[in-house]
Each structure stands twice: as structure tokens, then as C-alpha cells.
Chain A
Amino acid sequence: MMTQQVTVDPDRLFFQSERRKLFVTGSEAVGEAIKRANVDVGIAYPITPQSESMHIVGDLYAEGYLKDYFRGENEFSVMSAVAGASMGGVRVFTATGGPGTLRSFEMFPTWAGARLPIVCAFLTRGVNSPLTIQPDTIEMAYMLDTGMIMFHAEDAQDLYDMILKAFVVAEQCDVHIPVGVFADGFFVTHTRDEVMVAPPEMKLPAYQPYSSPVPVMDMENVPFRQMRDPFVMKSNFISYAAHASWQQEVTAAAERARPYIQHYLGGLVEAENPGADILVIASGTAVSQSRAAIQTAAGLGFEAGLVKVKCLRPFPTEEMRALTGQCKAIVVPEFNRVGWLAREIRATIEDNGKVVGGPRVFGGMTMPTDMIVDAIRRCSA
């Protein structure tokens, strides 16, 4: 049965309410977030390891927490349908992962270009032939330049917090672009963890459709389009300039999200012992492995600091430069083949020869902390 809920200010929901502890899976943490997110429409399509999260959202719909919910015919259509619903002025949520992310890929730059504040959870998995359903963050490499804001959750607590906060960041009038909340499939979705949650009687304020910087497609707000010489698909300078400036504006919208991310997430990064000569920089569950490895290394007499990257787009460029200015080596453990985070860091900092790309695991492997300890030890030599 649905709990009677009242809307509260986001700051109260996030920071001032009395939280209670649950012992839940990552998928259930998604449900706990959506229960408090005042979502109008959820649209689902199954894919491992995401499916359970949208089952739970379906259950929430059946209980009355959402106003509409259905299963679409494939991920491309689902991402299209949430776009249509968002253009119609309601708050939407969906989730996918791995091949589903790629199946729907054409929609993500379209969401950003259309300034839709859609929140989507990406519960990542491998992309390969032969088929794999195992954990891997390779899809995040593909997502980096879609124009979406990207958060990366370390654990179920992050997943719960980031989904709720994503709606608030996405819906700011001067931002108003989609947010992808990424979490490592299986490692987060299918494991149980302690998660502190706000009271179920509280939910976010409803989405205000006319906070959109572009017209809501409802024939209730001007302008109704009519141009004599539209720039769409024209081959002339005005057309090029219009498209170029709009792409810049979408990028600028992500930049304008920084202060909101700072406020709600407490920053784009979190650092522990950043003055150490060796820094381990990671995102997602690689952060947990790194934290454990740093503790083990300390016991062996090797000191290392930790930088947890919570937000990948916009990228914490200034934070990264400031944090890495003094260190001698940077270890970047990752759950993917290409090492996209190491690539990002190398492209950001001046003295990038000190970035050690790895250790990396992929294809579904877990990352033994020993691999990270070894990397720290080698950098200490």
C-alpha cells in the first residue's frame, strides 16, 4: 500500500530529514529513490542486470507512487517514449544497461539537445560478442560525449542519493538537460548493503513544466512555431551558426550544473589524504576496491591517497588539476578494457606522464584489491 506523502523542499529531504537504515540491494535502492522522487511516468524494458530495478518501479506504480508505467518494445522506443513524455511536461524515469544503452544510443544526444531533464539509471554491463551479461563499465566510454550529465555511484547509498538528486539538478531552469546515474551492474544492483533513506512520507516537489527553457509541447505555452525560413537541415551559414551555438549552449548547460552538483552531491569529487605522493583515482565500485587497497598498502608501509570521482560530466577539471599537482604517480583502477577514466585524467592534467593506466579488469571479473596494492607498490619503488 502507498504511504501518504507530502512534498518537501529538496534540501530537507536530502540533508535535514531523519534518515533510517535499510539493508537492501542496489536495485531496491533505486526503488527507494523513486518512491520519494514524485515521478509521473516510468517506462521499462528488461535487460540484465537492470530489470529488477524497473520491476520495483512497476510495483511502485501499482501501489500508486507513479501515475503511469508501461513496458516499451525495445530500449530505443523506451528512450523515445520518455522523451515524448518529458516534452509533454511530466517527470520521467527509466533504466537500462550495456547493450540496452547502445540500442538506444541515438536518443541520448537528442535528449540533451531537446533540453529534457530525464533521469535514467544505467546499471552497466559488458558489451561484447560472444554475449556477456557480466559487469563492465565500457558503455560509459561511449556515453561521455552525449551532452548528458553523468554521475557514477560507488554503492547502493550513492545510487539512492544520486538518483534523487539527479532530478533536482536536471530540472534547474538554467541546466535542464538529462542526467545519467551510472552504477556497476551486479556489484551494486545485486548485492545487499546498508542504505540510509529519508522517511517514506516525504517526496520531492512536483516537476514544474514551465521551468523548461524550451517550449513544452502541449499547445498551452507560446511560441507555437512558425518560421518562414527555418534553419533546420539548410546548407547555409545561418544554419551552421544556429546549430553550432545550440551545441555550445547544451554544453554550457552542463557547465552551469556545477554549483548545483557541488551543493547536492558535496562536490564532483571526494578526496582522502590528497597530499600523498601516490593518488588512486577511481569511480564506481573501483572506489571501494581502491579504499580497501589503500588500507592494505598502508599496513605494508606504502602511503596513497584516494580521489573518488562522483561526476564525470561535467568533468571535474579544476578539481583534478588542483588535487594532482603535487603527487608523483596516479593509479587509475577500472572495470573496463579501454581505461576511459585514465584517458580523461591524462587529457586533463598537465603532467600526465605520471598517470598509470590500470589496473583494469573486464569481461565480468572482480578486481582483487591486491592488484591495486601491487600498482601502489610499483609506484612507490
Chain B
Amino acid sequence: MTRRMFKISAGFEEVMPPEYRELVEKGPFEKQLGVAELGTFKELLEEHPLCAGCGLALSLRLTLISLPSPEDTVIVGATGCSSLAFPQVAVHNIHSLFGNQNAVATGLKRALSLRFPDRAKDVVVIAGDGATCDIGLESVMHSWFRGEKLTTIMLDNEAYANTGGQESGMSQLGTVLNMAPMGKKFKKVAFPEVAKAAGCVYVAVAAPHQPRRLERSVRRAILIAREIGPTYVQLYTPCPTNYKFKPADTLSVIREQEKAGLFRPDEYLSPEAAAYIQQLEEAKG
């Protein structure tokens, strides 16, 4: 889209809600903004209805700030905590069902490529760990096998949080959660490794305790997906409600897990992806 599309019709200036007016006047469209400019513009996420201290909400906010072209980005989500926030996000976004997000994104990306052959339309999947690693595994994996030019972002809070804190494939071994009353019996799925093996040309693991790193991961993932192939970003987003820590401790929980070796920021670029990023950086000077 172009910014002139995003305006308030004459006569409606007074009746539009203030947050919408602000978005029109100070929104991030076509401005190349990022984490460094945080606080100087109106963000895409209008508040959020999630719990205090929610690591997912913070990561979603940072992810949205990191979109390289929000004016040409369509997000596909899935059922879960994040689906409560998406109606408050000011880019086109789809909630279809639980677990079909990468299949929906496949169709969407192909449709937009047909309709806008000369304009990059970024299709970004943002879904929880249950949606990505468990119920949606088949559609996620096959979108990667097919080499669909999508970015898949997992908001990994290591549980089914919205349904009340059940074990997911991404929960840590031994963790006691609902449906794992004796503790989880198998290890956290090594999903970044799965992504690499399945054909992702860029794989990153990050968390909101390092906003710049998160931003770089999201941005690279989207830019590479535009040109080269499927990309995957796994964001560790601890859940104070279900893991029962204080809302103010979310970032320190990330640091503690990192220290304990249970969370490790990482980045993998295929040779082709690395060459492309180098080319982009050289062009920027």
C-alpha cells in the first residue's frame, strides 16, 4: 500500500478514536523505523489484552516494530494467546484455525505473488509453540519442504498458555504442567534443527531480553524469505501466568534460563542467505 491510502475520510476526523488518528499521523508505514526509534512513533500493536509481564506480548510488540515493510506485510496467526492480541494489530492479519497457519500462508503468499508480481508482499506467520511444533507441525514442515517464501516465527512460551498451561512439545524435560502431572517425559523439541533439516535458509533463536538481536533476526528472516526461501525465528517468550513467576521477572527468567543452558540465542544462515545479506549490507554502505 501507499501511505495516502491510510487516511481518515473528510468529516470523520473528530469521531475516529484517538489511537487510530495517531496511527494515521504517526504510524510506521513506509518509514523504515525500528527498535532504535521506539517511543517516537505510533506502534502497530494498540495496547494488548494479555497478562502482565507476558513475554509473548513483549516479543510480538518487538516483532511488529521490526517488520521491514509493515505497509506490505500480511500476518497469519493461529489460535492461542497471540490471537487475542492480533485484532489490535494494524496490518492485515488472518486468524484461520489452530495449526493450519502455514498452509493458509502458503495460499496467501502464492495469491499475492500472482496479484502483485512487481511488489514484495511479505507473508509472516506468527504462532505459538503448540501451534507450530505440535498441532501445526505438518503444515509448517511441508511449507518448508516446498520452499515457500514465508517467514515462520514461533512465540515459544513452552506451554499451551491460553488453554491453561498444558505441556507442549517445546516444554522442557521434567516440567510439571497440566497434562504432564508427573513432569514432561521427553526433551524440548530441537525445532531450530528441524527447521534447518527441512529446508529453512535462515534460522534464528532470540528473546526480548536482547531487543536489537530480536529485531535483526526478524528483519533478516523476512528479507531472506522475500528472495531466497523459507525462514524460521524462534522467540523465547516466558509465561509468568503458567510458569508462576512474578510479571516483573520475565526478562530475568530469560537470563537465568540462558545461564542454565536451557535457552541459547543462535543464528544460522545458508550460504545463499549469507551472500544475500552481505549484498544488502554492502548496498546500504
Contact = CB atoms under 8 A, between A and B. Distances in A.
A41 B110 contact: yes
A235 to B, nearest CB: 12
A209 B92 CA distance: 15
Given A85-B108, A219-B92, A107 B115 contact: no
B126 interface: no
A230 B94 contact: no
A217 B75 CA distance: 9
Which secondary structure dominates where chain A touches chain B?
A: loop
A225 B92 contact: yes
Contacts of B90: 224-226
Interface in A220-241: 220-222, 224-228, 230, 232-233
Contacts of A87: 94, 104, 107-108, 111
A295 interface: no
B103 A81 contact: yes
A67 B92 CA distance: 24
B218 interface: no
A180 B276 CA distance: 45
A145 interface: no
A84 B92 contact: no
B116 A218 contact: yes
Contacts, number: 150
B93 A225 contact: yes
Contact of B111 (A88, A219, A224): A88
A90 interface: yes
Given A224-B90, A225-B93, A232-B87, A40 B111 contact: yes
Interface string A74-110: 1011101111111111101000000000000011001
A363 B76 CA distance: 41
A43 B106 CA distance: 11
A41 B114 CA distance: 9
B87 A72 contact: no
B72 A219 contact: yes
Contacts of A72: 103, 106, 142
7 closest residue pairs by CB, A with B: A88-B111, A84-B107, A230-B87, A85-B107, A80-B103, A80-B100, A84-B104
6 contacts: A74-B138, A77-B103, A84-B104, A218-B121, A219-B71, A232-B95
